[in-house]
Structure 1
Amino acid sequence: MRYMMTYDLMETVRNTNQWLGATALSMASYPVFSALPNPALSWMAAWGEVTERTYQRMVVKPAWGIRTFTCEDGKDHLVDITTVVERPFGDLIHFKVNGREEQPRKVLLVAPMSGHYATLLRSTVKSLLVNCEVYVTDWHNARDIPVSAGKFDIEDYTLYLVDFMRELGPDTHVVAVCQPVPLTLAATAYLAEREPDAQPSSLTLIGGPVDPDATPTEVTDFGRRVTMGQLEETMIQQVGFKYPGVGRKVYPGLLQLASFMSMNGERHTKAFLDQIQRVSRGEASDHDAHNRFYDEYLAVMDMTAEFYLSTVERIFKKREIARNVFTVNGHKVDFSKITDVAVKTVEGAKDDISAPGQCVAALDLCTGLPESKKASHLEPGAGHYGIFAGRSWRDNIRPLVINFMNANSRSTPARKPASKPANKNTAA
């Protein structure tokens, strides 16, 4: 009950702040005040508008917002988001462009389960839709999953990925972003040993902690400092009575959001103060740069307690993936069994979450894979977000990834890249 009261208290604080923002906006916008122009009232209304929107977005799952897509025929085609595989903790969804021929590249985009929804990869999905059939792992908010659905830890996560890969078949190109990188590698190795015919054609790993100790960051330092008992005591709460998952132990998204924002507190504070000034001057809009970013960034989801704790303990503390001792349902996963799935790693030189060195460690684990099927890319000047959704992704990384898929496709003949990729070693 103590954990449940804490969860409800956090929701009460969030709800109160949303109400305060709405109240300030309503009061400062009262028509009678128009007769007495006062800059303080304009600022109060602006503060209320920004505050209400900020706290409201924390409990709203963003829409994908991908309704149409312009194809080579110059026409706008409707995009249907269909569920291919439905599971209690996450679905496999497909972005189907109606009226367009099926594209030669089938891409499974593995979204992170690290506090944000899969919609964080919206721009990544849009960029791949140009010439790919895109499938995405759409993870569910743990607060909405009844306790009767059971547990969900990193082994269950890995088995979900195994099922998704098996469903899509061996002509699939898998792209994993951030948190799921080590578990996607494990799922591939699991299939390589048990169902080799179901392995994907290629595996692109973007900015993930395969070996967290390769390059320490603030995230890895935190994982080293705290004990598992401390984490369970301070980070784990029970879902309150307001949601279907009442009683389920979770790592709340609001706590994760607080951690994210504290890492760059000054930058976020300045961003909100600047937005209040813009609103007060009438220079802001509903879909301006600030709102587009923070509508997504502030929308957070809860993770199951067992997933969060097992991630910290087994990926970061015990380094089971990095040491090649990871087990799934009692079966030891052996990365040397990956022998014909081309693997490419992508890192950002200024990534402060998964620093350079943590992801490329995956190539050293694949001892059974020929060097000709290994590739790596370090993007100069790119941070964590930029390597999968920013300008660096669009201008430099995406073309390299597409070339890598073309060169390692099982279903279509490999096409020679238009230009030489800027890789340390290139699978072609």
Structure 2
Amino acid sequence: MKYMATYDMMEAMRLTNQWLGATAQAFGAHPALALSPNPMIKMMAAWGEVTERTFSRMVAKPDWNIPTVVGEDGRDHVVQVQKVMTRPFGDLLHFSVSDRPLMPRKILLVAPMSGHYATLLRSTVNSLLPDAEVYITDWHNARDIPVSVGKFDIEDYTLYLANFIREIGPDTHVIAVCQPAPLALAATAYLAAEDPKAQPRTLTLIGGPIDPDAAATDVTDFGRRVTMGQLEQMALQRVGFKYAGVGRMVYPGLLQLASFMSMNGETHGRAFSEQILRTAKGEAGDHDRHNKFYDEYLAVMDMTAEFYLSTVERIFKGREIATNSFVVDGKLVDIGKITTVAVKTVEGADDDISAPGQCVAALDLCTGLPDSKKASHLEPGAGHYGIFAGKSWRNNIRPVVLDFIDANSDVPEPKKRRKSAKNVTQLRTTKTG
């Protein structure tokens, strides 16, 4: 019960801070206090507004908020988020653009399962929508999944990816961002051996820990010095009675968020202090730069305990991908079996999460792939976030990735006019289990 008590205690602390913020905001806005010219009253209300917003966002799943995209005809086309495949631990989503011809490029974005929702890649999706049919993996919050559904570890994750790629079709271009890069590589190798016709056309790996030992970071140092027993004792908790996943062992999103923020504590502290001052002066907005970033950054989700532990033990400690010894469903996944899928790696020179060298190691593992189908890109001055969502992505990396996709694509078939939304065939839902 101690694991459940700890989980509920963290939730109680979050709710208390949210309540304190809302109380301070309401108290500072009381008409009676308007008689006093004391600036501290405005500061109290501003502190309350920022605090309430901060702690309430920690348990809210953000919306995609991509209403339209501009087409080649210069018109705004409505974007609808459709579920192509539904599974217990994650869905395959398609951003369907109404009244636009089908785009020849089909891109599957593999979102990380590392504490944040797939909406962390919203700007990445936005940047690709004008030029491609975009799909994405939408992982579910473990706290909302009943224990009766079963486990979910990195082998299950790999099989999910293989099934998603099969569903979209063999002309898929996969882009894996950060944490799922090694598992996307494994899923591609798995298809190469088990279902060659379902392999994707290209695989782009962005800032992922293919070989964590290739370049040391705080993340890899943590993985080496902490034992699996210590992780089980310190990091895992059992979901409380408030959620559908009551009793499930998880690595809580709130704990992951605390870890993220501690890495740049001074920067985050300054950002919130400045936001309180802007709010007190009336200069802050609901969608200003601070709120736009932190509404997404603070929205965290729980991971299943088995997924978290198997990631640390098999990817970071055991280096099973780096040593080509990864096993899925009792079968050794030989990365050397990849012989036709073009593979590209993207790294940021200033990435402090997956340092340069960790991701490009994938190319050496692809022993069955000719050099003409291998490519790499190192972006100068780019950090971890910038290589998939920042200025570096928009101005430099995105064009390079699209050129790589086009260079390894067949001549596209003639475009077909998309049917209206009301005529779209009901999407298939796969059975669980």
Asked if TM exceeds 0.5, the reply is: yes
Alpha-carbon deviation of 1:410? 3.8
Alignment of 1:29-428 (within 5 A): 29-410=29-410, 412=412
Provide the C-alpha distance between the structure 1 equivalents of 2:313 and 2:5, rounded to a whole number of angstroms. 26
Provide the C-alpha distance between the structure 1 equivalents of 2:4 and 2:410, rounded to a whole number of angstroms. 50
Provide the C-alpha distance between the structure 1 equivalents of 2:410 and 2:313, rounded to a whole number of angstroms. 37
8 Å contact kept, 1:78–1:98: yes
Deviations 1:357-378 (A, max 9, x none): 0000000000000000000000
Q: Secondary structure at the match of 1:121?
A: helix
Which residue identity does 2:319 align to in structure 1?
Answer: R
Provide the C-alpha distance between the structure 2 equivalents of 1:33 and 1:187, rounded to a whole number of angstroms. 61
Deviations 1:391-421 (A, max 9, x none): 00000000000000001114539xxxxxxxx
8 Å contact kept, 1:79–1:98: yes
8 Å contact kept, 1:201–1:410: no
Partner of 1:418: none
Provide the C-alpha distance between the structure 1 equivalents of 2:167 and 2:409, rounded to a whole number of angstroms. 17
Alpha-carbon deviation of 1:35? 1.0
Partner of 2:15: 15
Q: Secondary structure at the match of 1:86?
A: strand
Q: Secondary structure at the match of 2:87?
A: coil
Partner of 2:430: none
Partner of 1:5: 5
Q: Secondary structure at the match of 2:81?
A: strand
Alpha-carbon deviation of 1:72? 1.8
Deviations 1:312-359 (A, max 9, x none): 000000000000000001100001000010000000000000000000
8 Å contact kept, 1:170–1:410: no
Deviations 1:70-106 (A, max 9, x none): 2121221111100001000000000000000000000
Q: Secondary structure at the match of 1:58?
A: helix
Provide the C-alpha distance between the structure 2 equivalents of 1:74 and 1:175, rounded to a whole number of angstroms. 27
Deviations 1:277-298 (A, max 9, x none): 0000111000000000000000
Deviations 1:143-193 (A, max 9, x none): 000001100000000000000011111100000000000000000000001
Partner of 1:417: none
Which residue identity does 1:171 align to in structure 2?
Answer: D
Which residue identity does 2:161 align to in structure 1?
Answer: L
Q: What stretches of structure 2 of length at least 5 have no aligned partner? A: 414-433
Identity among equivalent positions (%) equals 73
Provide the C-alpha distance between the structure 1 equivalents of 2:76 and 2:136, rounded to a whole number of angstroms. 22
Q: Secondary structure at the match of 1:99?
A: coil
Which residue identity does 1:236 align to in structure 2?
Answer: L
Provide the C-alpha distance between the structure 1 equivalents of 2:158 and 2:238, rounded to a whole number of angstroms. 24
Which residue identity does 1:215 align to in structure 2?
Answer: A
Comparing both chains, which one has the higher relative contact order based on Cα–Cα distances under 8 Å and sequence gaps of 6 or more?
2
Q: Secondary structure at the match of 1:276?
A: helix
Partner of 2:424: none
Identify the range of structure 1 (401-410 vs 200-209) with the bigger mean alpha-carbon deviation.
401-410
Q: Secondary structure at the match of 1:138?
A: strand
Q: Secondary structure at the match of 1:96?
A: strand
Deviations 1:227-251 (A, max 9, x none): 0000000000000000000000000
Which residue identity does 2:163 align to in structure 1?
Answer: D
Alpha-carbon deviation of 1:29? 1.0
Provide the C-alpha distance between the structure 2 equivalents of 1:2 and 1:170, rounded to a whole number of angstroms. 48
Deviations 1:45-82 (A, max 9, x none): 00000000000000000000001112121221111100
Which residue identity does 1:368 align to in structure 2?
Answer: G
Closer, same or farther: CA 316–102 of 1 in aligned 2, 3 Å: same
Which residue identity does 2:31 align to in structure 1?
Answer: P
Provide the C-alpha distance between the structure 1 equivalents of 2:184 and 2:376, rounded to a whole number of angstroms. 17
Q: Secondary structure at the match of 2:94?
A: strand
8 Å contact kept, 1:211–1:322: yes
Provide the C-alpha distance between the structure 2 equivalents of 1:302 and 1:360, rounded to a whole number of angstroms. 29
Alpha-carbon deviation of 1:37? 1.3
Provide the C-alpha distance between the structure 2 equivalents of 1:407 and 1:32, rounded to a whole number of angstroms. 68
8 Å contact kept, 1:239–1:247: yes
Q: Secondary structure at the match of 2:59?
A: coil
Q: Secondary structure at the match of 2:173?
A: strand
Partner of 1:416: none
The TM-score with structure 2 as length reference comes to 0.95
CA RMSD of aligned residues (A): 0.7
Identify the range of structure 1 (23-32 vs 13-22) with the bigger mean alpha-carbon deviation.
23-32
The TM-score with structure 1 as length reference comes to 0.96
8 Å contact kept, 1:57–1:295: yes
Q: Secondary structure at the match of 2:378?
A: strand
Partner of 1:421: none
Provide the C-alpha distance between the structure 2 equivalents of 1:328 and 1:19, rounded to a whole number of angstroms. 46
Provide the C-alpha distance between the structure 1 equivalents of 2:334 and 2:77, rounded to a whole number of angstroms. 44
